[in-house]
Amino acid sequence: MVVLSQNGRQQLPLIKACKPNYGFTGIPVIDMTSPHAKAHMVEACEEFGFFKLVNHGVPMEFMSRLEDEGIKFFSLPQSEKDLAGPPQPFGYGNRRIGPNGDVGWIEYLLLSTNPDSISQICSSISPENPEIFGSAVVDYVSSVKNMTYEVLEMIAEGLNIEPRNVLSRLLKDEESDSCFRVNHYPPCPELEALRGRVLVGFGEHTDPQIISVLRSNNTNGLEICLKDGTWVSVPPDQDSFFINVGDSLQVMTNGKFKSVKHRVVTESRKARVSMIYFGGPPLTEIIAPLPSLVKEGEETLYKEFTWADYKKSVYKSRLADNRLGLFEKK
């Protein structure tokens, strides 16, 4: 790994471009209205911890309105954007990711999904017109949440576990600790001169929550790591969602589902905008393998811990750390 240090810019990690497989066509595409969707979701979560969702029912208008509002915000002068930062953990962030020294070619807004907290932060995002940004976030997030509840209920049915809301109830709970981010990966024209290298927008990591739901514009950049360790590029699709299994769902399925390792690399010419809903449980919830998924005589792989315990440990870690390692039974 080398660093880019031009025009006094902060040093950022560069990784070799040849690594990901751009031709991989095996990413599962699941039609939410298909009678086979439940079984396919379970297969995809076991094999990839990742799938693309089509026919999801979220209005395209909510997706494009939030993208437009996001672009407007990121086009503001730096001094105005800085008024909404730094993220602690919510707010506007630039280059720095998390509290422990990770950096990337990115700026972002990290928000709680609670409507009060959204309107509070939106008054620093657009003081003259906080409702415009706020209502775009609220409409989008509430629609994506409903779709995610349904996905988790379909997964529970596909796994043959009861009740149907055994997973979705954690996100539906008023105390659910969910969050939301809008990411902007600016283009980097200097990269043209550094042929064969790409800039890391968001370094490799797994998401700590139960499930993450991503939508991006039509710019490349997202890569996932397959079970055999190869990185593949995920062709963007602005009309679809990409679902990621998080660490907590890996634990709840006693390792049957794998949280997907992923990262974002930067294009030299085109900005990437993504928005991600991270569905997390209430802080007091114990994250443990669901008894109905542990066969008789089978060992549980993880120690018992609450989401608050895990979150505390997450915020002490670096992006690429294996956070679940600390909670595995040795």
Positions touching ligand GA4 (CB under 6 A) are: 89, 97-98, 100, 102, 110, 179, 181, 205, 207-208, 278, 314-315, 317-319
Amino acid found at 229: G
Burial label for 3, CB within 10 Å (0-12, 13-18, 19+), is exposed
Q: How far is the CB of 149 from ligand GA4 (least distance, A)?
A: 19
Closest among 15, 12, 7, 20 to 231, alpha carbons compared: 20
Which residue, 107 or 207, is less far from ligand GA4 as judged by CB?
Answer: 207
Angle at the Cα of 266 from the Cα atoms of 233 and 5, rounded to 5 degrees? 140
Give whichever of 156 and 243 is closer to ligand GA4, judged by the CB atom.
243
> Shortest approach of ligand GA4 to residue 296 CB, angstroms?
35
Rg (CA), the chain: 19
Q: Which residues, 6 or more positions from 38, have their beta carbon under 8 angstroms from its beta carbon?
A: 154, 155, 157, 158
Give the DSSP letter string of 77-130. -HHHHHTT-S-SSSEEEEEEETTTTEEEEEEEEEEESSHHHHHHHHHHH-TT-H
Find the shortest distance in angstroms from Cβ 276 to ligand GA4: 7
What whole-number distance in Å separates Cα of residue 166 and Cα of residue 280? 14
Pair of tokens at residue 157:
């049915």
Q: CB nearer to ligand GA4: give 178 or 240.
A: 178
In terms of phi and psi (left: phi > 0; alpha: psi -120 to 50; beta: otherwise), the region of 59 is beta
Beta bridge mates, 93: 108
Looking at beta carbons only, is 49 or 98 nearer to ligand GA4? 98
Query: How far apart are alpha carbons 315 and 292 in whole angstroms?
Result: 31
User: Least separation, in Å, of the C-beta of 209 and ligand GA4?
Assistant: 6
Cβ-based nearer residue to ligand GA4, 96 or 197: 96
Q: Which residues are known catalytic residues?
A: 272
**In the complex, least distance from residue 230 CB atom to ligand GA4, rounded to whole angstroms:** 22
Which residue lies nearest ligand GA4, judged by its C-beta?
A: 98
Q: What share of the chain is helix, strand, coil (3-state, %, to 5)?
A: 30, 25, 40
Q: How far is the CB of 317 from ligand GA4 (least distance, A)?
A: 5
Residue 13 vs 89, nearer CB to ligand GA4? 89
